[in-house]
Amino acid sequence: MSSSAGFCTTTTLVSPPLDAISRVRFPVQATRSYGVGNIQAHLLAVSSWDGSCRLYDTNRNSLLATRKDHHPLLDVTFSDPSQAVCATLGGALVLVDFNQGGKEVNRVDK
């Protein structure tokens, strides 16, 4: 479900996390030059205290991929349009590849 007021649009996410959301991020390039080239401005990464890292398509309001960790997630940021780095409460950094369905491709523990 979407609604808008002027320049602001709100969307209720399908399949939201089961606990508090710790961070939402659009790709950095999208915030700098929206709509230019092949920038995936419609992608949204969400980290949560339920340990999930989720990738949403905001144009279609659909969940594209989910990766679940055994620790709550404190932060998420895109490393490129298909990968994100998540920071866990356990002190790890986890590289998630959304092209592989949210597969963990690298992990650095403290």
pLDDT tens-digit profile of 53-92? 999 998 899 999 999 999 999 999 998 888 999 999 999 9
Q: Which of 31, 21, 30, 24 minimizes the C-alpha distance to 76?
A: 24
Angle at 61 between CA 59 and CA 63, to 5 degrees: 120
Q: Is residue 4 part of a domain?
A: no
Share of the chain above pLDDT 90, in %: 55
Q: Is residue 60 part of a domain?
A: yes
Q: Is residue 87 part of a domain?
A: yes
Helix (H, G, I), strand (E, B) or coil at 7: coil
Q: Is residue 3 part of a domain?
A: no
pLDDT for residue 34 is more than 50:
no
Model confidence pLDDT, tens digit, residues 38-63:
557 789 999 999 999 999 998 899 99
Q: Is residue 48 part of a domain?
A: yes
Q: How many domains does the chain have?
A: 1
- Give the CATH number, domain containing residue 39: 2.40.10.480
What one-letter code names the amino acid at 99? N
Tell me the pTM: 0.81
Model confidence pLDDT, tens digit, residues 96-110:
998 888 898 989 998
Tokens found for residue 86: 């998540």
What one-letter code names the amino acid at 87? A
Domain range for 40: 16-108
Tokens found for residue 22: 């710790």
Pairwise pLDDT comparison (52 vs 10), residue with the higher score = 52
